[in-house]
A and B are shown apart, each in its own frame.
Chain A
Amino acid sequence: MTESLGSEERSTAASSEAAASVLPGGESTARSANTLDSSAESTDSAQLQSSVIELDSLCVNYDKPVLDSLSAEMRGSCIGLLGPNGAGKTTLLNTLLGFKRPSSGKASILGHDLKSGNQWVRSMVGYMPERDAFIAGMTGIRFVRMMAELSGLSSKVALERAHEVFFYVGLGEARYRNVESYSLGMKQLAKLAQAIVHGPRLLFLDEPTNGLDPPARARMLQLIREIRDSGDTHIIIASHLLQDIESCCDEVLVLKEGRIAKYCNLEEERRSNRQFLLMQIRGDEIAFVEGLRNLGCEVALPNRRRIKAIIPEELDISQLYELAESLSVQIRNLDYKRDSLEDIFLRAMDAD
């Protein structure tokens, strides 16, 4: 049904050149090798499978330590960055974008050290800031085209992709309007457009749904998921909205007071607690609990008539009903509980 964003530009470029190109480099690999790290080409195809961001005892100090010895290897296709105010999210973003230098330790993006390969890294990332950010006096299309050219695209390709990306984010009809005249939601989409116009391998989104009404928010999240599912781009989302993170991300990094409080794969984290059940019963509670234990469950009784059970992997829920039937116990309520991101986040905040 759909066709790739870059199809037209590829048809206008020499086909052999386009076919040969794997990275921003393709046709003019030798030329770009002067400015961008040529080793990128060999490592790049493997990057989607290997680590996206690697932090190795990363410390950033202002007057006091803001990031304290962060170590993590992030591999997810969409990674949520969470933490309360002052936890260090902004500083981490600043550092990864090359705006702040680490005091010690190192960070690498897509296998390239930030210190030595800063220019290469910047050519590979897209960034959507939280606050209003645009270039005054420009139409949307000119703004995005300029951003694409600054990322290294030729003028012609930049124009083509700017048009395409504007339609892609749903601003096609407004692309000739001045950016200053856009509504808040349109500005958010324009910021997303400039962040993805050059087809980055890593996309930083800082509070992407800030100030959006529910339909616009849903649209933005849908776009993020589409970009994620394209497989071409890894995404880092910093947001206070846990629902947004939960709906898009497969991994989360929770920061607390400049340290990593939790880094986990959401699905694995949920899976580890998927057998967690809360039951309310009427009947012989003691016999039912005993029966559960005989089935291999860990059982706790937080209060009267409520049973909390962690059931083993191999146990099917239907066996519980069979047990209840055999003991003439009524299961009045059964809550199949999965850990939400909020649970994970709150647990990380509570942990020392």
Chain B
Amino acid sequence: MSPDPDRQERIILALPNKGRMREPALNLLKSAGVSVTGDDRSYLSKTSNPGIDLLSVRAADIPVYVYYGIADLGITGRDIVAETGLEVYELADLGFGCCNLVVAVDKDSGIRSPSEIPHGSKVATEFPNVTKAYFDELGVLVETITLRGAVEIAPRLGLATAIVDISSTGATLEKNRLSAIGKVMSSSARLICNKISYKTKYDKVEEITNRLRVSP
């Protein structure tokens, strides 16, 4: 498919279509003078700025849309960008969606740090690539099991010895009798950019980045 000539003049900004980051992302855009016009649940929406359209897709897919240049900019979690491993520019920390990606085990397991997890143990996670890189660097050989939600129940059901999952307040871990024994990474919402869009639409990308940076 050939490039759409209209795209040269517009910026498409991808943001999560649901979840904890959508509302703060919309609020941030609004405070930067970009409001959704029409149906904000439509996957492609116009905004009050005729040069910016919004693409609403799953947060986990946003790095993919940005990497391939379907979207020029995207707002998603740093943990998600790290998991995909795709090369995109990370232009700004937007200051919301803060959480940690932690290693957690059953409170009664007796394991106090990630390096004490026995070799060959199973680790359940939604972040298999980040998890593998973390344990590889630690020198602990584990088997990662990829789950798509409710990761915290895996130890109790005997599926895994440990989990790697996001934690904001620790309440979910506590509720499932888990304790965090190590931090894999800190995460928050980031403004990411396609590398070619940064170059071919430099002035517009810089303008939007600066407006989002200074917005309260």
To the question of whether A and B form a pair in one complex, the answer is no
Binding site for B on A (CB under 8 A): none
